[in-house]
A and B are shown apart, each in its own frame.
Chain A
C-alpha cells in the first residue's frame, strides 16, 4: 500500500499519474465503499470518511478492512487537521476521524509520501521510482 498525503492541491494526483503510473482513479467523494475495496488508487479519502459517517459506517473499522483487503492500493488523502478546532460537532468529529484513519493507513503502508508544492517527500519507506 502507498499513502500520498499533503495539503489540498499539492500535486498528489499528478505524482500518482506521472511517477507511479496510476491509470484508474476512484473518487472518494462519489464512489461506493465497495469500489474502494478493489480500487487501484483512491482519491479524496478524507471525503469518503465524511460520506461513511453520514451513512452510519464506522470509518476506522472500514479503513482497517480496506487496508486488509486492498493491500496494493494507492490512497490519497489531504491533511486537514492543522487548523482551529471547528465549533460544529460534526466537522470536529470528521476531522478527528481523518486523523485516526490517516494513522491506520500510514501504519499499514510500506511507503508514505507527503506532497508539498509538487515535491514528493518520502516520510516512510524507500523511494521506489
Chain B
C-alpha cells in the first residue's frame, strides 16, 4: 500500500507519516533525502531524528536515484521528502535537469518492493509569486512528480494544520 502525504510548511506531515507506520510489525526504513548542507538542514535533521526516536526506524540516506535505494524486500518505508529528492536530482553541478519521470518511475518501483510505502511531499505552487526560471521549473517538476505519485498511490492525504484530509483512498490509520 502506498500513501502520499502533501501539505504546506510545518503542518504535521511527518507526524502523520510516522503514525501510519506505527502499527507495522516488520522492518521500518526511513529514507532521508535531505543533504546536510549547513546548520539549518542539520537542525531539521536533528529535530526529525528526535521525533522518530524509539519508533523503530532504521535510517537510510538516499539523495538521488531512489530506484536503487537499498531497501529490504517486504519492509515498510517512510520517504521524506520528495522536495529534497527533486532538488538533488534537478540542480546538479552539470546544470539543470528535468527528473520528474525518473523520480516517479523510481518510486513506483520502490512501491513494488515494499509492503507499505509512505511518501512525504510538499505543496509549493500556491504562493502566487512569479519566480525566475530555475525555481519556476522546480515548481512545475514537483507538480508533475506529485501528480505521478498520486496516480499510482492508494491513498493521497493533504495535511491542513495537523488535520489529515483524504483526497484519494482513505486515511490508513
Contacts and interface: CB of A to CB of B under 8 A. Distances in A.
Contact of B7 (A82, A84, A85): A82
Interface in B33-66: none
A82 B161 contact: no
A82 B143 CA distance: 12
A116 B51 CA distance: 33
Interface in A49-91: 79-85
B124 A96 contact: no
Contacts of B165: 123
A81 B123 CA distance: 8
B26 to A, nearest CB: 30
B172 to A, nearest CB: 18
Interface residues of B, number: 23
Given A81-B11, A95-B9, A96-B10, A102 B161 contact: yes
Contacts of A82: 7-9, 122-127
B8 to A, nearest CB: 3
B173 interface: no
Given A5-B161, A84-B135, A84-B139, A102 B126 contact: no
Contact of A79 (B125, B160, B162): B160
A102 B125 contact: no
Nearest to A106: B161
A99 interface: yes
A83 B161 CA distance: 15
Interface size range on A against B:
20 to 34
Contact of A83 (B127, B162, B163): B127
A84 B9 contact: no
Given A7-B126, A123-B165, A80 B8 contact: yes
Given A7-B126, A82-B125, A84-B129, A106 B162 contact: yes
Contacts of B12: 103
Contacts of B122: 82
Contacts of A99: 8-11, 161
Interface of A: 3, 5, 7, 79-85, 95-100, 102-103, 105-107, 112, 114, 123-124
Q: Nearest 3 A-B pairs (CB), nearest first?
A: A83-B127, A99-B10, A81-B8
5 contacts: A82-B8, A83-B8, A103-B11, A106-B161, A106-B162
Given A7-B126, A79-B161, A106-B162, 10 more contacts: A5-B161, A81-B8, A83-B8, A83-B129, A85-B124, A96-B10, A100-B10, A106-B163, A107-B162, A114-B160
